Structure 1
């Protein structure tokens, strides 16, 4: 079932739709007026967000002459919400879906990539296998490699991975999405516009299947399905350092912390790194006033 999330404050964008792997994927595709072949910028969201998270960039980049694209993963946002038995909900499938989505757009020039959270492993896995189709890369709080040996995921995420606990907490009571509204920000609480918009697609247990599945797919060791995908990504990630890369990092992120950032920069030593001491995991919510101008300048400069 597709959830319509129209008339959200601060999000006036209508979705287009395309069939990907037997399911309908919704996406925003904002084009600058009077430009027939605008450079494309692909935004890839994480969990439990959706294209709404990118609204500050969706509202500004077309004015810079950029075609601004933001899909909702299957099970998220305005896309179809298949049951667990009807869709694999794995990182490998997410990468395959994004690959099919980019191919469906029939782009005739390299694209720039903007990624956050799970959008990092998904979008960057596509990028490292299609280097000739990549222009620039913007990275916001994410991981693009297996969990470092000295890092453990928080107990709350470990509990949410359990089938029974996760089914009750994440699906029935929406605890993961609700918790992210406070734990994902460097402030006490996200503002009302952000809270309403981020929660809008996940209004029933049936619409939270993908939210829970993303948590369950977090790899903690080699036996987990997402681990080999991240291993492959880590092996090829340094190849992206030949492209312009800009990083924006909320330093109050309880999961993607300063240690994860240092690990990422080890793969991408040429990246421009911007740290925001007052921002959390939802760094674009906390620091849009500083991030958006920097992204606009970065994407608008010659490669």
Structure 2
């Protein structure tokens, strides 16, 4: 497996992103290739972690405005970069990226960092992977906060997703910053757009971003349908607190909160909310609302 690594100079002077890097080395089981996964964190090292998982094609920059408020409330905020994104290593071949590999990579990262008592906040592919982690290690998760994501089992998806899938595979150059900006209600600044572009100095570094949309198991023939069904079986018995906070202006995941509320016992009776004036990347549109939601939900469900 050939690995690309974005130079550190690409991340110099990013607006609002002044975090010390943390790296964890894991080993890809199939190829025995070492892989370096990056994360940022803020807050007491001995506090229960709030695990903030990003999706496609963003990276931990998406959570830059979450870190200080969560830390100030006494939480350990942790935001990793998925393999292929941010400061984490990027396998060079599209075939190196599969759904199951992503789950295995982040499972190894979770165990290497020995996280427990986790509050998960997940969006987009952060949910497709994060919810699999919760199903694999339910004893390590204290609660789930789920936004604009799901756990597909081959039964189709929205027209918004179908349009995104077509665009992602056909656009000659994959415009990461422009894509993120297109998924927000507010207009990102030029420096913010540049920060989303920073991990990807050329098209060769974007193979993971290109591949992700094709991996979503929206048909019965897709890989990982069986694994996601098995994960749902576990989540259908998950009684710890679960909160949904989907946004009102995301054509990709609209209505996706319904199966979560219906199927996961821990979601019953919780104060589920729709984030107003939030696009797909609602972390950019409503960071203050979401961080306060996390702080309040943790406080209300402790013990």
- Normalising by structure 2, we get a TM-score of 0.86
Structure 1 CA distance for aligned equivalents of residues 293 and 286 of structure 2:
11
Q: Which residue of 2 aligns with 1:117?
A: 124
Are the structure 2 counterparts of residues 279 and 213 from structure 1 closer, same or farther at C-alpha, using a change threshold of 3 Å? same
From the superposition, tell whether residues 61 and 158 of structure 1 become closer, same or farther in structure 2 (CA, over 3 Å): closer
Are 1:15 and 2:24 an aligned pair?
no
Q: Where in structure 1 are there 5+ consecutive unaligned residues?
A: none
Partner of 1:246: 243
Matched, 1:174 2:159: no
Q: Give 1:234 deviation, angstroms.
A: 2.4
How far has the Cα of 1:173 moved from its partner? 1.4
Partner SS state of residue 90, structure 2: coil
The alpha carbon displacement at 1:9 in A equals 1.0
Relative distance call for 1:129 and 1:16 in structure 2 (3 A) is same
Q: Distance in 1 between matches of 2:15 and 2:158?
A: 38
Q: Would you say the 8 A contact 1:64–1:300 is kept in 2?
A: no
1:160 and 1:216 in contact (8 A); partners too: no
1:149-298 alignment runs, 5 A limit: 151-152=158-159, 154-160=161-167, 162=169, 165=170, 169=171, 172-175=172-175, 177-182=177-182, 184-187=183-186, 189-240=187-238, 242-257=239-254, 259-268=255-264, 269-270=267-268, 271-298=270-297
Alignment of 1:89 with 2:101, yes or no, is no
Name stretches of at least 5 consecutive residues in structure 2 with no aligned partner.
28-33
Contact 1:45 1:72 in 2 (8 A): yes
Q: 1:212 to 1:150 in 2, by over 3 A?
A: closer
Measured on the aligned residues, the alpha-carbon RMSD in Å equals 2.2
Judged with a 3 Å threshold, the aligned counterparts in structure 2 of structure 1 residues 59 and 146 are, in CA distance, closer, same or farther, namely same
TM-score, with length taken from structure 1: 0.86
For 1:35-184, list aligned pairs within 5 A. 37-84=46-93, 88-107=96-115, 109-146=116-153, 148=155, 151-152=158-159, 154-160=161-167, 162=169, 165=170, 169=171, 172-175=172-175, 177-182=177-182, 184=183
C-alpha separation in 1, matches of 2:159 and 2:233: 21
Partners of 1:284 and 1:291 within 8 A in 2: yes
Residue number in structure 1 paired with 2:30: none
2:37 to 19, 25, 28: 25
Partner-residue secondary structure (3-state), 2:208: helix
Q: Distance in 1 between matches of 2:291 and 2:19?
A: 18
Aligned partner of 2:5 in structure 1 is: 2
Q: Is the 8 A contact 2:102 2:129 kept in 1?
A: yes
